[in-house]
């Protein structure tokens, strides 16, 4: 399995967020890497409130959070968010997060299809009964990165998680969608694996939580967001064609509906040209 990436794909205005928080990624213990992509840790101590915005990956996240001025640590399971995810940060706080590979959460909670959690954030103990308040306290209050990673490893390794061939297939299919930008038709993906489109859709509903077409569109949007935030002099019509949009207008409409501003405005804002 690949090591944690160091890109900021999905983060809206990465410089704005990273100026305000300490953000790190760490690998989980080797036995967990089959279905856990990485751990992500964030700490902040802000003089004024700040709202972070994310265009989420097609992943389920388990988070142990501590907003120190508001109460004790708590744990949440967040299913795949269909729209923009906003998290308000204020005062001192931290998050210790587990990002499951797309398709990799079902083996940890086999009782329900992953689509059950799509678009929802709920107390973790409702999904993973062992994620109690004591567990959240132990993980979120651990002193440093090594201790937090060890606590996350201990929690996940203590739970049953059997290998699942269907989860492995879903993980592999989503990885291919993410890596191959030329892959735009769900039918092509299904035929390559000897599946019907309907069977592929059922697999994604049960193990990823969203449709394969949604995953294609989301990774296409992540590329547009990344390009807008890191490149200058973008030929938007060429980028739209490269990403499989019908034309530039469709890219602009999709971008504006998701982020709230057109890509040219967003690019100027990220570069500080406000």
85-100/61-67 β-pairing: antiparallel
Kindly list the distances between the CA atom of residue 103 and the CA atoms of 70, 90, 170, 237, 246, in Å, as whole numbers in the listed order.
33, 33, 5, 33, 29
Site of tokens 């109460």: 71
Same domain, 196 and 132: no
Tens-of-pLDDT digits for all 274 residues of the chain? 455 566 788 999 999 999 999 999 999 999 999 999 999 999 999 999 999 999 999 999 999 999 988 899 999 999 999 989 999 999 999 999 999 999 999 999 999 999 999 999 999 999 999 999 999 999 999 999 999 999 999 999 999 999 999 999 999 999 999 998 888 889 999 998 899 999 999 999 999 999 999 999 999 999 999 988 888 888 999 999 988 888 999 999 999 999 999 999 999 888 775 4
Q: Is residue 248 part of a domain?
A: yes
Same domain, 116 and 36: yes
Q: What pairs with residue 93 in β-bridges?
A: 44, 67
Among 105, 137, 157, the domain-final residue is 157
Structural domain including 122 reads 11-157
Give CA angle at 105 (257, 56), nearest 5°. Answer: 20
Same domain, 22 and 128: yes
Q: What pairs with residue 61 in β-bridges?
A: 78, 99
Q: Is residue 174 part of a domain?
A: yes
Q: Is residue 263 part of a domain?
A: yes
Query: Phi and psi for 43 in degrees, rounded to 5?
Result: -130, 145
* Predicted pLDDT at 246: 87
* Predicted pLDDT at 273: 56
Q: Is residue 3 part of a domain?
A: no
Same domain, 51 and 184: no
CATH of the domain at 243: 1.10.10.60
Same domain, 138 and 25: yes
Same domain, 42 and 124: yes
Same domain, 45 and 137: yes
Tell me the per-residue pLDDT of 35-56, one tens digit each, with 9 for 90 and over: 999 999 999 999 999 999 999 9
How deeply is 227 buried, as exposed, middle or buried, from its count of CB atoms within 10 A (0-12, 13-18, 19+)?
Answer: middle
Is the Cβ–Cβ distance between 84 and 259 less than 8 Å?
Answer: yes
Evaluate if pTM is beyond 0.85: yes
Cα distance between the two ends of the chain: 41
Same domain, 27 and 153: yes
Structure tokens at 274: 């406000």
Among 157, 186, 210, the domain-final residue is 157
Same domain, 118 and 26: yes
Domain count, the chain: 2
Q: How many CB atoms lie within 10 A of CB 70?
A: 11
Q: Is residue 175 part of a domain?
A: yes
Cα–Cα distance measured from residue 34 to residue 215, given in angstroms and rounded to the nearest whole number: 20
Q: Which of 49, 40, 45 is nearest to 89 (CA)?
A: 49
Q: Is residue 6 part of a domain?
A: no
Q: Is residue 132 part of a domain?
A: yes
Structure tokens at 19: 């100026």
* Predicted pLDDT at 233: 86
Query: Phi and psi for 189 in degrees, rounded to 5?
Result: -65, -40
With b for 16 or more beta-carbon neighbours within 10 A and e for fewer, the 42-64 pattern comes to: bbbeeeeebebbebbbbbbbbbb
Among 129, 157, 185, the domain-final residue is 157
Q: Which residues contact 213 (CB under 8 A, 6 or more apart)?
A: 186
Same domain, 170 and 106: no
Same domain, 118 and 185: no
Cα–Cα distance measured from residue 208 to residue 218, given in angstroms and rounded to the nearest whole number: 13
Tell me the per-residue pLDDT of 136-170, one tens digit each, with 9 for 90 and over: 999 999 999 999 999 999 999 999 999 999 999 99
Structure tokens at 102: 């797309």
Query: Phi and psi for 88 in degrees, rounded to 5?
Result: -85, 130
Same domain, 191 and 223: yes
CATH of the domain at 130: 2.60.40
Q: Is residue 2 part of a domain?
A: no
């Amino acid at each position: 399995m690949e090591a944690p990436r160091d890109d900021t794909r999905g983060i809206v205005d990465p410089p704005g967020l990273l100026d305000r928080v300490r953000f790190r990624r760490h690998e989980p213990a080797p036995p967990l890497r089959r279905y856990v992509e990485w751990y992500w840790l964030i700490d902040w101590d802000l003089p004024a409130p700040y709202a972070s915005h994310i265009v989420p990956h097609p992943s389920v996240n388990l988070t142990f959070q501590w907003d120190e001025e508001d109460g004790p640590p708590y744990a949440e399971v967040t299913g795949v968010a269909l729209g923009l995810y906003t998290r308000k940060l204020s005062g001192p706080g931290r998050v210790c997060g587990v990002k499951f590979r797309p398709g990799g959460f079902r083996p940890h909670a086999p009782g329900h299809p992953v689509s059950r959690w799509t678009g929802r954030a709920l107390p973790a103990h409702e999904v993973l009964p062992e994620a109690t308040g004591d567990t959240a306290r132990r993980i979120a209050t651990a002193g440093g990165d090594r201790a937090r990673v060890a606590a996350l490893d201990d929690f996940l390794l203590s739970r049953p998680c059997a290998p699942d061939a269907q989860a492995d297939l879903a993980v592999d299919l989503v990885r291919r969608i993410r890596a191959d930008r030329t892959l735009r038709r769900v039918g092509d993906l299904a035929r390559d694996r000897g599946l019907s489109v309907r069977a592929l859709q059922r697999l994604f509903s049960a193990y990823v939580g969203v449709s394969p077409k949604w995953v294609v569109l989301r990774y296409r949007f992540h590329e547009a967001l990344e390009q807008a935030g890191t490149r200058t002099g973008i030929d938007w019509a060429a980028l739209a064609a490269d990403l499989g949009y019908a034309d530039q207008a469709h890219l602009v409409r999709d971008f504006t509906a998701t982020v709230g501003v057109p890509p040219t405005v967003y690019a100027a804002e990220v570069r500080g040209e406000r």
